[in-house]
Amino acid sequence: MNSYIEKAENSLLHTYNRFQVVFEHGQGVYLYDTEGKKYLDFCGGIAVNALGYGDQELEKELIDALSDQIRKVTHTSNYFYNIPAAEAAQKLTKAAGLERVFFTNSGAEAVEGLIKTARKYAYLKDGNTDHEIIAMEHSFHGRTMGALSVTGNPAYRKAFEPMIGNVKFATMNDYESVEALVNEKTCAILLETVQGEGGIFPAEEGFLKKLRKLCDEKDILLIFDEIQCGMGRTGELFAWQRFGVKPDAMATAKALGCGIPVGAFLMSQKLADASLVAGDHGTTYGGNPLACRAVSTVLDLYEKRDILSHVKKVGAYLEEKLDGLVAKYDHIIERRGIGLMQGLEFDCEVKPVLQKALDNGLVLINAGAKIIRFVPPLVITEEDIDEMIRILEDALS
Protein backbone atom coordinates (compact mmCIF):
# COMPACT_ATOMS: atom_id res chain seq x y z
CA MET A 1 0.00 0.00 0.00
CA ASN A 2 2.82 2.40 0.83
CA SER A 3 4.30 1.93 -2.63
CA TYR A 4 1.04 3.03 -4.27
CA ILE A 5 0.84 6.05 -1.98
CA GLU A 6 4.43 6.96 -2.86
CA LYS A 7 3.70 6.71 -6.59
CA ALA A 8 0.65 8.95 -6.19
CA GLU A 9 2.51 11.51 -4.09
CA ASN A 10 5.29 11.65 -6.69
CA SER A 11 2.90 12.31 -9.57
CA LEU A 12 -0.44 13.76 -8.45
CA LEU A 13 -0.88 17.47 -7.86
CA HIS A 14 -1.10 17.92 -4.10
CA THR A 15 -4.55 19.50 -3.78
CA TYR A 16 -5.82 16.95 -1.25
CA ASN A 17 -4.52 15.87 2.14
CA ARG A 18 -5.51 12.25 1.72
CA PHE A 19 -5.93 9.60 4.39
CA GLN A 20 -3.11 7.07 4.13
CA VAL A 21 -5.12 4.21 2.69
CA VAL A 22 -5.53 2.77 -0.82
CA PHE A 23 -8.95 1.25 -1.51
CA GLU A 24 -8.95 -1.57 -4.03
CA HIS A 25 -12.52 -2.85 -4.20
CA GLY A 26 -15.90 -2.79 -2.49
CA GLN A 27 -18.63 -5.25 -1.55
CA GLY A 28 -22.05 -4.29 -0.20
CA VAL A 29 -21.43 -1.27 2.05
CA TYR A 30 -17.78 -2.16 2.72
CA LEU A 31 -14.54 -1.06 1.11
CA TYR A 32 -11.33 -3.13 1.13
CA ASP A 33 -7.80 -1.78 0.96
CA THR A 34 -4.88 -3.33 -0.90
CA GLU A 35 -3.92 -5.28 2.23
CA GLY A 36 -7.38 -6.87 2.46
CA LYS A 37 -8.56 -4.82 5.46
CA LYS A 38 -12.33 -4.23 5.59
CA TYR A 39 -13.94 -0.80 6.19
CA LEU A 40 -17.58 0.09 6.78
CA ASP A 41 -18.28 2.97 4.40
CA PHE A 42 -20.26 5.92 5.80
CA CYS A 43 -18.80 8.34 3.28
CA GLY A 44 -20.13 6.80 0.06
CA GLY A 45 -17.54 8.57 -2.08
CA ILE A 46 -18.94 11.85 -0.69
CA ALA A 47 -22.61 10.90 -1.23
CA VAL A 48 -21.95 9.33 -4.64
CA ASN A 49 -22.12 5.54 -4.23
CA ALA A 50 -25.77 5.36 -3.26
CA LEU A 51 -26.16 1.71 -4.29
CA GLY A 52 -23.07 0.50 -2.47
CA TYR A 53 -20.64 -1.91 -4.09
CA GLY A 54 -21.14 -5.19 -5.90
CA ASP A 55 -24.69 -5.87 -4.69
CA GLN A 56 -26.07 -8.78 -6.71
CA GLU A 57 -29.43 -7.11 -7.29
CA LEU A 58 -28.49 -3.45 -7.69
CA GLU A 59 -24.86 -2.72 -8.42
CA LYS A 60 -24.65 -5.79 -10.66
CA GLU A 61 -27.49 -4.48 -12.82
CA LEU A 62 -25.70 -1.16 -13.14
CA ILE A 63 -22.42 -2.87 -14.02
CA ASP A 64 -24.16 -5.08 -16.57
CA ALA A 65 -25.86 -2.07 -18.17
CA LEU A 66 -22.59 -0.14 -18.38
CA SER A 67 -20.75 -3.16 -19.78
CA ASP A 68 -23.41 -3.53 -22.45
CA GLN A 69 -23.12 0.15 -23.34
CA ILE A 70 -19.31 0.03 -23.51
CA ARG A 71 -19.61 -2.75 -26.07
CA LYS A 72 -22.00 -0.60 -28.14
CA VAL A 73 -20.70 2.99 -28.04
CA THR A 74 -19.46 5.31 -25.29
CA HIS A 75 -19.31 8.62 -27.13
CA THR A 76 -20.77 10.22 -30.25
CA SER A 77 -20.80 13.98 -29.36
CA ASN A 78 -23.80 16.27 -29.10
CA TYR A 79 -23.96 16.82 -32.83
CA PHE A 80 -26.06 13.66 -32.84
CA TYR A 81 -28.76 11.99 -30.74
CA ASN A 82 -28.14 8.86 -28.71
CA ILE A 83 -30.60 6.42 -27.15
CA PRO A 84 -29.41 6.51 -23.49
CA ALA A 85 -29.50 10.33 -23.40
CA ALA A 86 -33.06 10.39 -24.71
CA GLU A 87 -34.20 7.80 -22.18
CA ALA A 88 -32.32 9.37 -19.25
CA ALA A 89 -33.67 12.82 -20.08
CA GLN A 90 -37.25 11.57 -20.17
CA LYS A 91 -36.93 9.75 -16.83
CA LEU A 92 -35.08 12.54 -15.02
CA THR A 93 -37.36 15.37 -16.12
CA LYS A 94 -40.40 13.33 -15.10
CA ALA A 95 -38.90 12.56 -11.68
CA ALA A 96 -37.99 16.20 -11.07
CA GLY A 97 -41.15 17.74 -12.51
CA LEU A 98 -39.02 20.06 -14.65
CA GLU A 99 -39.35 19.85 -18.40
CA ARG A 100 -35.81 20.39 -19.72
CA VAL A 101 -32.39 18.96 -18.80
CA PHE A 102 -28.78 19.51 -19.86
CA PHE A 103 -26.30 16.75 -18.96
CA THR A 104 -22.88 17.77 -17.67
CA ASN A 105 -19.77 15.97 -16.40
CA SER A 106 -19.98 17.21 -12.81
CA GLY A 107 -21.94 19.19 -10.27
CA ALA A 108 -19.73 22.25 -10.65
CA GLU A 109 -20.45 22.29 -14.38
CA ALA A 110 -24.16 22.07 -13.66
CA VAL A 111 -23.90 25.17 -11.44
CA GLU A 112 -21.95 26.95 -14.19
CA GLY A 113 -24.78 26.23 -16.59
CA LEU A 114 -27.35 27.61 -14.16
CA ILE A 115 -25.37 30.83 -13.67
CA LYS A 116 -25.33 31.32 -17.43
CA THR A 117 -29.04 30.49 -17.61
CA ALA A 118 -29.89 33.13 -15.01
CA ARG A 119 -27.82 35.80 -16.71
CA LYS A 120 -29.23 35.02 -20.16
CA TYR A 121 -32.78 35.08 -18.81
CA ALA A 122 -32.23 38.53 -17.31
CA TYR A 123 -30.38 39.81 -20.38
CA LEU A 124 -33.25 38.90 -22.68
CA LYS A 125 -35.62 40.90 -20.47
CA ASP A 126 -33.78 44.25 -20.54
CA GLY A 127 -30.61 43.92 -22.60
CA ASN A 128 -28.37 44.69 -19.62
CA THR A 129 -25.42 42.66 -18.31
CA ASP A 130 -25.21 43.99 -14.75
CA HIS A 131 -27.60 41.56 -13.10
CA GLU A 132 -26.95 40.12 -9.63
CA ILE A 133 -27.23 36.69 -8.04
CA ILE A 134 -27.96 36.19 -4.35
CA ALA A 135 -26.32 33.09 -2.83
CA MET A 136 -25.97 31.92 0.77
CA GLU A 137 -23.15 32.25 3.29
CA HIS A 138 -21.44 28.95 4.17
CA SER A 139 -22.61 27.44 0.88
CA PHE A 140 -20.53 25.29 -1.45
CA HIS A 141 -21.23 24.97 -5.17
CA GLY A 142 -17.94 23.79 -6.67
CA ARG A 143 -14.35 24.75 -7.50
CA THR A 144 -14.65 26.24 -10.99
CA MET A 145 -14.55 30.04 -11.20
CA GLY A 146 -18.28 30.52 -11.64
CA ALA A 147 -19.28 27.97 -9.00
CA LEU A 148 -16.63 29.36 -6.66
CA SER A 149 -18.03 32.86 -7.17
CA VAL A 150 -21.36 31.80 -5.64
CA THR A 151 -19.75 29.72 -2.88
CA GLY A 152 -20.28 31.50 0.44
CA ASN A 153 -16.92 30.76 2.03
CA PRO A 154 -14.36 33.59 1.63
CA ALA A 155 -11.46 31.25 2.39
CA TYR A 156 -12.18 29.26 -0.78
CA ARG A 157 -12.37 32.41 -2.94
CA LYS A 158 -9.59 34.64 -1.62
CA ALA A 159 -6.61 33.39 -3.63
CA PHE A 160 -8.58 33.31 -6.89
CA GLU A 161 -10.19 36.73 -6.90
CA PRO A 162 -11.53 38.61 -8.69
CA MET A 163 -14.55 36.36 -9.04
CA ILE A 164 -17.17 36.76 -11.77
CA GLY A 165 -18.81 39.62 -9.86
CA ASN A 166 -22.33 40.76 -9.05
CA VAL A 167 -22.83 38.07 -6.40
CA LYS A 168 -24.19 38.89 -2.95
CA PHE A 169 -24.47 36.60 0.07
CA ALA A 170 -27.41 36.29 2.44
CA THR A 171 -27.86 34.15 5.55
CA MET A 172 -29.44 30.72 5.22
CA ASN A 173 -32.94 30.60 6.75
CA ASP A 174 -32.93 34.37 7.37
CA TYR A 175 -35.49 35.75 4.94
CA GLU A 176 -34.90 39.36 5.94
CA SER A 177 -31.22 39.05 4.99
CA VAL A 178 -32.28 37.96 1.50
CA GLU A 179 -34.95 40.60 1.14
CA ALA A 180 -32.45 43.32 2.08
CA LEU A 181 -30.24 42.38 -0.89
CA VAL A 182 -32.96 42.22 -3.53
CA ASN A 183 -33.11 45.07 -6.03
CA GLU A 184 -34.09 45.64 -9.65
CA LYS A 185 -30.85 43.95 -10.79
CA THR A 186 -31.45 40.67 -8.95
CA CYS A 187 -31.90 37.84 -11.45
CA ALA A 188 -31.62 34.73 -9.27
CA ILE A 189 -31.51 33.38 -5.73
CA LEU A 190 -29.33 30.27 -5.47
CA LEU A 191 -29.04 27.91 -2.52
CA GLU A 192 -28.45 24.31 -1.47
CA THR A 193 -31.68 22.83 -0.14
CA VAL A 194 -29.49 21.20 2.51
CA GLN A 195 -26.03 22.74 2.86
CA GLY A 196 -23.38 20.01 2.77
CA GLU A 197 -19.78 21.24 2.98
CA GLY A 198 -21.00 24.22 5.00
CA GLY A 199 -22.01 22.04 7.95
CA ILE A 200 -25.21 20.07 7.14
CA PHE A 201 -27.73 22.89 7.48
CA PRO A 202 -31.20 22.10 6.05
CA ALA A 203 -33.29 24.92 4.66
CA GLU A 204 -36.45 25.62 6.64
CA GLU A 205 -39.78 25.13 4.90
CA GLY A 206 -41.01 28.61 5.79
CA PHE A 207 -37.83 30.16 4.42
CA LEU A 208 -38.17 28.36 1.10
CA LYS A 209 -41.83 29.29 0.76
CA LYS A 210 -41.06 32.96 1.36
CA LEU A 211 -38.31 32.82 -1.27
CA ARG A 212 -40.70 31.22 -3.75
CA LYS A 213 -43.27 33.96 -3.17
CA LEU A 214 -40.63 36.68 -3.49
CA CYS A 215 -39.27 35.25 -6.72
CA ASP A 216 -42.76 34.94 -8.22
CA GLU A 217 -43.60 38.53 -7.33
CA LYS A 218 -40.39 40.02 -8.73
CA ASP A 219 -39.71 37.64 -11.65
CA ILE A 220 -36.52 36.33 -10.01
CA LEU A 221 -35.32 32.79 -10.65
CA LEU A 222 -35.27 30.42 -7.67
CA ILE A 223 -32.45 27.91 -8.19
CA PHE A 224 -31.67 24.93 -5.95
CA ASP A 225 -28.37 23.07 -5.74
CA GLU A 226 -29.33 19.43 -5.12
CA ILE A 227 -25.92 18.01 -5.96
CA GLN A 228 -25.26 16.45 -2.54
CA CYS A 229 -28.69 16.43 -0.89
CA GLY A 230 -30.51 15.12 -3.96
CA MET A 231 -30.94 11.65 -5.46
CA GLY A 232 -32.83 10.27 -2.48
CA ARG A 233 -30.49 11.20 0.35
CA THR A 234 -33.22 12.97 2.37
CA GLY A 235 -35.94 10.40 1.66
CA GLU A 236 -37.25 12.26 -1.37
CA LEU A 237 -35.56 12.06 -4.75
CA PHE A 238 -34.81 15.77 -4.39
CA ALA A 239 -34.83 17.52 -1.04
CA TRP A 240 -37.08 20.35 -2.23
CA GLN A 241 -39.85 17.81 -2.81
CA ARG A 242 -39.94 17.30 0.96
CA PHE A 243 -40.91 20.95 1.39
CA GLY A 244 -43.19 21.26 -1.63
CA VAL A 245 -41.31 24.31 -2.93
CA LYS A 246 -40.51 23.82 -6.60
CA PRO A 247 -37.57 25.73 -8.11
CA ASP A 248 -37.36 27.26 -11.55
CA ALA A 249 -34.12 25.35 -12.08
CA MET A 250 -31.87 22.98 -10.19
CA ALA A 251 -28.52 21.18 -10.30
CA THR A 252 -27.90 17.51 -9.57
CA ALA A 253 -24.88 15.19 -9.73
CA LYS A 254 -23.04 12.85 -7.27
CA ALA A 255 -25.40 9.84 -6.91
CA LEU A 256 -27.02 10.61 -10.29
CA GLY A 257 -24.61 8.13 -11.86
CA CYS A 258 -23.60 6.23 -8.69
CA GLY A 259 -19.90 6.50 -9.51
CA ILE A 260 -20.01 7.34 -13.20
CA PRO A 261 -19.06 11.04 -13.57
CA VAL A 262 -22.26 12.81 -14.59
CA GLY A 263 -24.24 15.85 -13.55
CA ALA A 264 -27.20 17.76 -14.89
CA PHE A 265 -29.11 20.99 -14.62
CA LEU A 266 -32.85 21.07 -15.13
CA MET A 267 -35.32 23.88 -15.67
CA SER A 268 -38.95 24.58 -16.37
CA GLN A 269 -40.21 24.86 -19.93
CA LYS A 270 -40.97 28.54 -19.28
CA LEU A 271 -37.35 29.22 -18.36
CA ALA A 272 -36.03 27.10 -21.24
CA ASP A 273 -38.09 29.17 -23.67
CA ALA A 274 -36.59 32.39 -22.31
CA SER A 275 -32.90 31.65 -21.78
CA LEU A 276 -30.33 29.38 -23.45
CA VAL A 277 -30.55 28.71 -27.18
CA ALA A 278 -28.36 26.85 -29.68
CA GLY A 279 -24.79 28.11 -29.39
CA ASP A 280 -25.15 29.46 -25.84
CA HIS A 281 -23.84 26.41 -24.00
CA GLY A 282 -22.18 23.11 -24.78
CA THR A 283 -19.94 20.26 -23.65
CA THR A 284 -17.93 17.56 -25.39
CA TYR A 285 -18.56 14.68 -22.99
CA GLY A 286 -21.80 15.76 -21.35
CA GLY A 287 -24.73 13.52 -22.19
CA ASN A 288 -22.56 10.77 -23.66
CA PRO A 289 -24.16 7.32 -24.00
CA LEU A 290 -22.18 5.72 -21.17
CA ALA A 291 -22.99 8.38 -18.55
CA CYS A 292 -26.62 8.56 -19.58
CA ARG A 293 -26.99 4.78 -19.49
CA ALA A 294 -25.84 5.05 -15.87
CA VAL A 295 -28.44 7.76 -15.11
CA SER A 296 -31.24 5.79 -16.74
CA THR A 297 -30.32 2.58 -14.93
CA VAL A 298 -29.89 4.28 -11.55
CA LEU A 299 -33.36 5.82 -11.78
CA ASP A 300 -34.82 2.41 -12.66
CA LEU A 301 -33.04 0.76 -9.72
CA TYR A 302 -34.23 3.41 -7.27
CA GLU A 303 -37.80 2.61 -8.23
CA LYS A 304 -37.30 -1.15 -8.34
CA ARG A 305 -35.77 -1.29 -4.84
CA ASP A 306 -37.99 1.51 -3.41
CA ILE A 307 -34.88 3.31 -2.21
CA LEU A 308 -36.80 6.34 -0.94
CA SER A 309 -38.91 4.34 1.52
CA HIS A 310 -35.80 2.57 2.74
CA VAL A 311 -34.01 5.90 3.32
CA LYS A 312 -36.93 7.22 5.36
CA LYS A 313 -36.83 4.13 7.57
CA VAL A 314 -33.09 3.81 8.17
CA GLY A 315 -32.66 7.59 8.20
CA ALA A 316 -34.96 7.83 11.20
CA TYR A 317 -32.95 5.09 12.92
CA LEU A 318 -29.67 6.90 12.20
CA GLU A 319 -31.08 10.12 13.65
CA GLU A 320 -32.13 8.27 16.81
CA LYS A 321 -28.68 6.74 17.27
CA LEU A 322 -26.85 10.01 16.63
CA ASP A 323 -29.14 11.83 19.07
CA GLY A 324 -28.08 9.24 21.62
CA LEU A 325 -24.45 10.25 21.09
CA VAL A 326 -25.34 13.92 21.55
CA ALA A 327 -26.94 13.10 24.89
CA LYS A 328 -24.00 10.97 25.99
CA TYR A 329 -20.94 13.02 25.02
CA ASP A 330 -20.36 16.56 26.28
CA HIS A 331 -18.09 17.45 23.36
CA ILE A 332 -20.95 16.94 20.85
CA ILE A 333 -23.01 20.12 20.49
CA GLU A 334 -25.84 18.95 18.22
CA ARG A 335 -27.02 16.74 15.38
CA ARG A 336 -28.28 18.27 12.14
CA GLY A 337 -29.59 16.79 8.92
CA ILE A 338 -32.34 14.90 7.14
CA GLY A 339 -32.46 11.20 6.26
CA LEU A 340 -29.06 9.82 5.33
CA MET A 341 -27.40 13.24 5.22
CA GLN A 342 -26.43 13.90 8.82
CA GLY A 343 -23.83 15.85 10.77
CA LEU A 344 -22.57 15.92 14.35
CA GLU A 345 -21.07 19.24 15.45
CA PHE A 346 -18.35 19.12 18.12
CA ASP A 347 -16.74 21.80 20.28
CA CYS A 348 -13.32 20.64 19.03
CA GLU A 349 -11.68 19.51 15.79
CA VAL A 350 -12.81 16.07 14.62
CA LYS A 351 -9.81 14.99 12.54
CA PRO A 352 -8.37 12.74 15.32
CA VAL A 353 -11.75 11.00 15.63
CA LEU A 354 -11.91 10.41 11.88
CA GLN A 355 -8.42 8.93 11.88
CA LYS A 356 -9.14 6.66 14.84
CA ALA A 357 -12.37 5.49 13.20
CA LEU A 358 -10.50 4.75 9.98
CA ASP A 359 -7.88 2.78 11.91
CA ASN A 360 -10.73 0.71 13.35
CA GLY A 361 -12.39 0.08 9.98
CA LEU A 362 -14.91 2.92 9.60
CA VAL A 363 -14.84 5.52 6.81
CA LEU A 364 -16.17 8.94 7.83
CA ILE A 365 -15.51 12.46 6.56
CA ASN A 366 -15.88 15.94 7.96
CA ALA A 367 -17.81 19.03 6.87
CA GLY A 368 -15.64 21.74 8.32
CA ALA A 369 -13.11 21.29 11.11
CA LYS A 370 -15.65 20.50 13.83
CA ILE A 371 -18.36 18.49 12.08
CA ILE A 372 -18.48 14.77 11.26
CA ARG A 373 -20.56 14.10 8.17
CA PHE A 374 -22.57 10.90 7.59
CA VAL A 375 -23.45 10.28 3.92
CA PRO A 376 -23.37 6.46 3.56
CA PRO A 377 -24.72 4.35 0.69
CA LEU A 378 -28.50 4.55 0.70
CA VAL A 379 -28.74 0.77 1.00
CA ILE A 380 -27.30 0.57 4.53
CA THR A 381 -29.27 -1.33 7.17
CA GLU A 382 -29.98 -0.73 10.85
CA GLU A 383 -27.33 -3.36 11.60
CA ASP A 384 -24.80 -1.32 9.63
CA ILE A 385 -25.75 1.74 11.67
CA ASP A 386 -25.28 -0.19 14.92
CA GLU A 387 -21.81 -1.28 13.77
CA MET A 388 -20.92 2.30 12.82
CA ILE A 389 -22.02 3.57 16.24
CA ARG A 390 -19.91 0.97 18.03
CA ILE A 391 -16.76 1.90 16.09
CA LEU A 392 -17.43 5.63 16.41
CA GLU A 393 -17.95 5.36 20.18
CA ASP A 394 -14.64 3.57 20.49
CA ALA A 395 -12.99 6.42 18.58
CA LEU A 396 -14.74 9.01 20.75
CA SER A 397 -13.67 7.34 23.96
What would the CATH number be for the domain defined by 2-55+306-396? Answer: 3.90.1150.10
Q: How far is it, in rounded angstroms, from Cα 74 to Cα 116?
A: 28
| Residue pLDDT, tens place only, 45-61 | 999 999 999 876 777 88
| Residue pLDDT, tens place only, 145-204 | 999 999 999 999 999 999 999 999 999 999 999 999 999 999 999 999 999 999 999 999
Q: Give CATH 3.40.640.10 domain extents, the chain.
A: 63-305
Q: Which amino acid is at 270?
A: K
What would the CATH number be for the domain defined by 63-305? Answer: 3.40.640.10
Segment 50-79 shows an average pLDDT of: 91
CA dist 17 to 14, 293, 354, Å? 7, 33, 13
CA dist 28 to 54, 67, 255, 381, Å? 6, 20, 16, 11
Assign 359 a pLDDT band (cuts: 50, 70, 90). very high
Q: For residue 73, is pLDDT > 80?
A: yes
Q: Give CATH 3.90.1150.10 domain extents, the chain.
A: 2-55+306-396
Segment 223-230 shows an average pLDDT of: 98
